[in-house]
Amino acid sequence: MPSINEIRDEKMVLVQSEICEINEVAPGYCRLQLKAPQIAAAAQPGQFIQVRVGNDVSVDPLLARPISIFRINKEAGSVALLFKIVGRGTKLLASKRRGEKLTIWGPVGNGFEIPEQAKKIALIAGGIGMPPLFCLQEKLSLDPNPPKMILFYGGRTSQDFLEMDLWKKSRVRIKLATEDGSMGFKGFVTDSFVDEHKSEAFDFVIACGPTPMLRAVQKIASLFRLSGQISLESYMACGVGACLGCVCQTEQGSRRVCVDGPVFPIEEVIL
């Protein structure tokens, strides 16, 4: 059973945040840049922000949407989020305009923790699981002696790859995989990862994407005795750890995805 928890992140703040930029980066995908200096100052890759779509008098959509952090700009005091339009809430969010204000709180969650000895890291992204991995590589690249990183990015089709210009400018090597073979490796991103791992042994894996992909990553990691972390996605109500709506099962019992995660050791979660 989980204990009655401590707050892991006392830096969480609730703010009215102005939209500095909003655009549809690909059909069905939206990038949202928010002015939020306190959040930008505290944010770590792997954390997320609760974004409420409705204004002060609106109760529909009722709840905030948890969206992972894509980029952190501490100097400009802003954070960028990248999200997929999946339902009414995200559709309304995508229709907001620059200059409008949103009620947001964050940063929420634990974020990634990369061990110092990790020198060759595989970043495995499935679809809209990509943004936190971009955030992570941006931070790791600032290290004077950064680890070697390879991105394994999977999509159904070539339409599912986002922000490729930014990725190409990064110091990360990129391996794309599509299920329909329209771009890169034809098949699952995890198969592309296994092929690569056989020739160049990774010492750490970070993955974010749909559950079947995470299950495959778990199997592979266990087979090759690789350690790493996975970031989970979940519907949430409170986004502060109170409601227990977003729990996942782990070897240590149930854990809240919002504040005990969203990042968990790869072997710990029962998917």
Partner 1 sequence: MPQPIMAVEISGLKLKNPVLPASGTYGYGKEYLPFFTPDRLGAVVTKGVSLTPWPGNQTPRIHETPGGMLNAIGLQNPGVGQFIKEAIPFLRRYQTPVIVNIVGKTIEEYAQVAEILNEQPEVSGFELNISCPNVKEGGIAFGVDPLMAALVTSEVRKKTNKPLIVKLSPNVTDIVTIARHVEDAGADGLSLINTLLGMAIDIRKRKPILANLVGGLSGPAIKPVALRMVWQTFQKVKIPIIGIGGICTASDAIEFIMAGATAVGIGTGIFREPLAPVKIIEGIREFLVEEGFASIAELKGVAHC
- Give the interface with partner 1 as residue ranges (CB under 8 A): 1-7, 9-14, 52, 54, 59-64, 89, 103, 105, 234-248, 253-254, 259
Judged by CB, which is closer to partner 1: 62, or 201? 62
State the minimum distance, in angstroms, from the CB of residue 7 to partner 1: 6
Judged by CB, which is closer to partner 1: 181, or 253? 253
State the minimum distance, in angstroms, from the CB of residue 233 to partner 1: 12
State the minimum distance, in angstroms, from the CB of residue 23 to partner 1: 26
- Token pair 């200096």 in the structure block, residue: 37
Nearest CA to 142 out of 110, 168, 171, 116 is that of 171
Judged by CB, which is closer to partner 1: 141, or 249? 249
Q: Quick check: 88 and 23 in contact, CB under 8 A?
A: no
Judged by CB, which is closer to partner 1: 107, or 209? 107
Q: What are phi and psi of 167, to 5 degrees?
A: -60, -40
Judged by CB, which is closer to partner 1: 34, or 257? 257
State the minimum distance, in angstroms, from the CB of residue 93 to partner 1: 14
Cα–Cα distance measured from residue 49 to residue 162, given in angstroms and rounded to the nearest whole number: 20
Q: Quick check: 193 and 176 in contact, CB under 8 A?
A: no
- Token pair 């309304």 in the structure block, residue: 92
State the minimum distance, in angstroms, from the CB of residue 259 to partner 1: 7
Judged by CB, which is closer to partner 1: 38, or 158? 38
Q: What share of the chain is helix, strand, coil (3-state, %, to 5)?
A: 20, 35, 45
State the minimum distance, in angstroms, from the CB of residue 63 to partner 1: 5
DSSP letter assigned to residue 14: E
Structure token digits, residue 202: 């990774």
Structure token digits, residue 24: 């549809």
The CA radius of gyration of the chain, in Å to the nearest whole number, is 18
